A and B are shown apart, each in its own frame.
Chain A
């Protein structure tokens, strides 16, 4: 017996098909469900699909049918879902564009605010990444590179001597593939008839292999430059940049020669453009084999000197080796070396640092990271303020548009569509803000990249907006967009529709609480920012007002030469320096001149141990004191006051009795209450008699406490790199030109360096304070501007909302001045709360930065009282303008407006 012609709904095959139909697009199912089932029933009645076996066959047939049928999900002529989404998006975009043009003030405020926040973030991040995060360019697997430092009492990241380096290299083959060494070396370089002093690099033969740096031309050094012993191979590899600028990118440069400290070197290769050398802050001009060091710097052979620590050592880990394994191996090597050379290695330990984590130098890393963190925190704060600001602007506008939203909702617009629209709008603003911000960042980065330390050197600050920075900026701006797009969006999407349409949305509720909180937050953040920058500005002021101990540095010029670099012997050096000094003093532009080995407030300082007869150094008291060699005329030229005794003369030379001049602090330290003149100082095995006492100045940094200082007569030993200082009452540049001519006439090949006024030279000492102060100052002013815009926006909006209420008050006879006062009071209440919160936060923040300040108390009253005053005044102005407008409003118009 065959089953019923129409098996009905109990047929499992039919139930299966009903279920299957559910997976068709809704629109298709709605229209054709009945027809599909009718056709199913027709099929089920066909002979081949009848019964259980037929049913099974039908299931297979239906599954295949389901898989191959492609019904569309939309009504005829309707766009695809993607098209719908795109259409919606473009409609939203067009609408947002119209809103943007319609409210130019809002647009400018919002975009500018964001541009500042994003732009400064991108610029700061670029700088930090350029100096700290960037892997060394042009190297192979930089993650395998490890810097090897040594530490001993008083030194955390010490260098290595050449013999020590060689021992380490030869005994760590199991953990390191290669161990290389390098150091900067100032040399005089002549090529094509031009001569200059330049920072080259002395490197081990395996230097390029260790870094995995490739060559643009020629070859790296071969192992025989080392194995053949010192001086065997006068060869040089040029840096790519130097090859471009100095040799015009000459493709035939390999085989050409150049003179380094008077010695002929043959060019064997040019490094690849990506490899700028072993550091992130310099573009190495050229590399000379370490084995040539005795030839380049005769009389200072470091190759055999186990006590002369000058080399930076870097190892490349073998595959699969970790820093910990390498450190363990290094401990083993050190234990051996301690037994072999107890005098040199006894108190020494190893420190291994991954190259990628070393930054500029691990010694500066903490300070660098600290300063970078402060900067990042500041710009983060600024971005936060900017976002709060924009959120506030958007919030105010969203409430203004509450009625519009209510109407749209009641007309059937989906909540999702409205949120989508608002998000599109905020993303459009963020995109514009990010674009403007990137332009701003680009300018800022170009500016930062052009800053050079006031010292000659192959500086290179590779700070540019790279992909990482771009990613960071985009992430920040999208986060900002969502942050300030979503809060108002969520708020607007659930208004009380009826009330909104009627224009009665209760303004005292939720929304204004949020924006009041935002104003408070903004005031607080701005205050933190402003007080921090105020502290830095005060610190800069403090630093510049410090008396360096010499007069009018803008009219002292300086110029440095190093006759030893040209291989001068003692006599020739003396003759040269005599001539330089005599002819400089004779210049009509110069009123006084002298020579010195150390110009104060540079980066270098030398100290030596002293003994004072009758003085017992206390435990832990520093007995090694700073000193400099000076010629006659130096103290006069610098304007350093003589307090007692006499200055050096030409006769204080190697033939005369050993003499010394000390500063006031030195004299008061060792001979309190007595005259220092005639007293004896023992130093470097010599007994020197004090002949004069001069005023105490600043020697290492402007922030230092008064320091003991000694002057020794330069004429005793002439073989030094020295600086000439000359006082000129007229234009410093003229004097400098004339002095340069004197040097050139005496020896055209002698390089001249550090040519500038002493004031510019002092810039080094002021650099951190100056950069910190000016950058934070600018940030602080921007923060103030943003805060003012924010408070104004919120108050203006709140006043506009209360127009009706204020109008009634005026109509009922309230004094206009009282209305102004009332509004002012409300606005200032918010400002005051923000101020209190901000002061507390700033107190905490100032503790964190106190280590970076010169001469300023972390709770500096000028910053902690002055800044809030300024901010309050700005806030008052921002509140007053809308308050006055409210009081001026015609009460009749105000009442009729809704």
Chain B
């Protein structure tokens, strides 16, 4: 019950948040890496500036979709100064539910368009 309520509070996800969750689904990432992944996932259609990126991360954290986590062992420039994020159970549920919804919509659309 509790999780349904929490889920309903965050759904539907905005495209940005959806893709950020997708990016995080593979494991913890830092901010810039999330932005890059999202850009790649959307064929460059969603390019997040720093403000948009951290604004979204702040909100997602407040909604308990993600949490901050430790560096999983990456190396590179300034890794010690970067914040890493990972998706929470709620985030995973939300991603799953949103994906199912999109899938249904896609199926219906394809059936009607006859593709």
- A71 adjacent to B61 (CB under 8 Å): no
- Known contacts A35-B82, A38-B82, A66-B49: A77-B54 contact under CB 8 Å: no
- B54 adjacent to A36 (CB under 8 Å): yes
Closest residue of B by beta carbon distance from A42 = B32
- B62 adjacent to A76 (CB under 8 Å): yes
- Known contacts A38-B32, A38-B78: A62-B49 contact under CB 8 Å: yes
User: Which of B48, B49, B53, B78 is packed against the most chain A CB atoms within 10 Å?
Assistant: B49
Interface string of A72-103 (1 = CB under 8 A from B): 10001100000000000000000000000000
B42 interface residue (CB < 8 Å to A): no
B95 interface residue (CB < 8 Å to A): no
- B49 adjacent to A32 (CB under 8 Å): no
- B82 adjacent to A71 (CB under 8 Å): no
- Known contacts A28-B55, A69-B55: A36-B50 contact under CB 8 Å: yes
Could you tell me the distance between the alpha carbons of A64 and B81 in the complex, rounded to whole angstroms?
26
- B31 adjacent to A35 (CB under 8 Å): yes
- Known contacts A39-B31, A42-B32, A66-B49: A32-B54 contact under CB 8 Å: yes
Contacts of B54 in A (CB 8 A): 28, 32, 35-36, 39, 69, 71
Contacts of B52 in A (CB 8 A): 65, 68-69
Interface string of B19-56 (1 = CB under 8 A from A): 00000000000011001000000000001111111111
User: Which of A24, A39, A61, A69 is packed against the most chain B CB atoms within 10 Å?
Assistant: A39
- A69 adjacent to B61 (CB under 8 Å): no
User: Which of A35, A40, A43, A76 is packed against the most chain B CB atoms within 10 Å?
Assistant: A35
Partner of A70, one of B48, B50, B55, B62: B55
- A36 adjacent to B51 (CB under 8 Å): yes
User: Which of A42, A62, A70, A76 is packed against the most chain B CB atoms within 10 Å?
Assistant: A42
Closest residue of A by beta carbon distance from B56 = A69
A34 interface residue (CB < 8 Å to B): yes
Closest residue of A by beta carbon distance from B47 = A61
Contacts of A72 in B (CB 8 A): 55, 58-59, 62
Closest residue of A by beta carbon distance from B32 = A42
Could you tell me the distance between the alpha carbons of A594 and B31 in the complex, rounded to whole angstroms?
111
Chain B proximity of A464: nearest CB distance (Å):
53
- B49 adjacent to A64 (CB under 8 Å): yes
- Known contacts A39-B31, A39-B35: A65-B62 contact under CB 8 Å: no
- B58 adjacent to A65 (CB under 8 Å): no
- B50 adjacent to A39 (CB under 8 Å): yes
Partner of B51, one of A42, A66, A76: A66
- A24 adjacent to B51 (CB under 8 Å): yes
Contacts of A42 in B (CB 8 A): 32
- A28 adjacent to B58 (CB under 8 Å): yes
Partner of B50, one of A31, A62, A76: A62
- A71 adjacent to B55 (CB under 8 Å): yes
Contacts of B49 in A (CB 8 A): 43, 61-62, 64-66, 69
- Known contacts A65-B50, A65-B52, A68-B52: A39-B58 contact under CB 8 Å: no
Chain B proximity of A746: nearest CB distance (Å):
92
Partner of A39, one of B32, B56, B59: B32
Chain A proximity of B90: nearest CB distance (Å):
14
Q: How big is the A interface, by class? A: 20 to 34
Closest residue of A by beta carbon distance from B51 = A69
- Known contacts A72-B59, A77-B62: A35-B51 contact under CB 8 Å: no
Question: Which A residues, 17 to 58, have Cβ-Cβ distances below 8 Å to chain B?
Answer: 17, 24, 28, 31-32, 34-40, 42-43
Contacts of A69 in B (CB 8 A): 49, 51-52, 54-56
Partner of A35, one of B47, B62, B83: B83
Closest residue of B by beta carbon distance from A45 = B77
- B62 adjacent to A71 (CB under 8 Å): no
Closest residue of A by beta carbon distance from B49 = A65
Contacts of B81 in A (CB 8 A): 34, 38
Contacts of B53 in A (CB 8 A): 39
Contacts of B82 in A (CB 8 A): 35, 38
Could you tell me the distance between the alpha carbons of A35 and B48 in the complex, rounded to whole angstroms?
14
Contacts of A28 in B (CB 8 A): 54-55, 58
Contacts of B62 in A (CB 8 A): 72, 76-77
Closest residue of B by beta carbon distance from A69 = B51
Contacts of B48 in A (CB 8 A): 65
Could you tell me the distance between the alpha carbons of A17 and B56 in the complex, rounded to whole angstroms?
19
Chain A proximity of B46: nearest CB distance (Å):
12
Closest residue of A by beta carbon distance from B54 = A32
Could you tell me the distance between the alpha carbons of A32 and B85 in the complex, rounded to whole angstroms?
14
Could you tell me the distance between the alpha carbons of A37 and B54 in the complex, rounded to whole angstroms?
11
- B32 adjacent to A71 (CB under 8 Å): no
User: Which of B31, B58, B82 is packed against the most chain A CB atoms within 10 Å?
Assistant: B58
- A43 adjacent to B55 (CB under 8 Å): no
Could you tell me the distance between the alpha carbons of A77 and B58 in the complex, rounded to whole angstroms?
12
Could you tell me the distance between the alpha carbons of A76 and B64 in the complex, rounded to whole angstroms?
9
Closest residue of B by beta carbon distance from A75 = B62
Chain A proximity of B13: nearest CB distance (Å):
16
- Known contacts A35-B82, A38-B81: A43-B50 contact under CB 8 Å: yes
- Known contacts A39-B50, A62-B50, A64-B49: A32-B32 contact under CB 8 Å: no
Chain A proximity of B106: nearest CB distance (Å):
27
Contacts of B31 in A (CB 8 A): 35, 38-39
In the assembled complex, 26 residue pairs joining A and B whose CB atoms fall closer than 8 Å, in A order, are A17-B50, A24-B51, A28-B54, A28-B58, A31-B58, A36-B54, A38-B31, A38-B78, A38-B81, A39-B32, A39-B50, A40-B50, A61-B49, A62-B49, A62-B51, A65-B49, A65-B50, A65-B52, A66-B51, A68-B52, A69-B51, A69-B52, A69-B56, A71-B54, A72-B58, A72-B62
- For the complex of A and B, the 4 pairs showing the least CB-CB separation, nearest first, are A65-B49, A69-B51, A76-B62, A71-B55
Inter-chain pairs besides A38-B82, A61-B47, A65-B52, 17 sampled, C-beta below 8 Å: A32-B54, A35-B82, A36-B50, A38-B81, A39-B50, A43-B49, A43-B50, A64-B49, A65-B48, A65-B49, A65-B51, A66-B49, A69-B56, A71-B54, A71-B55, A71-B58, A76-B58
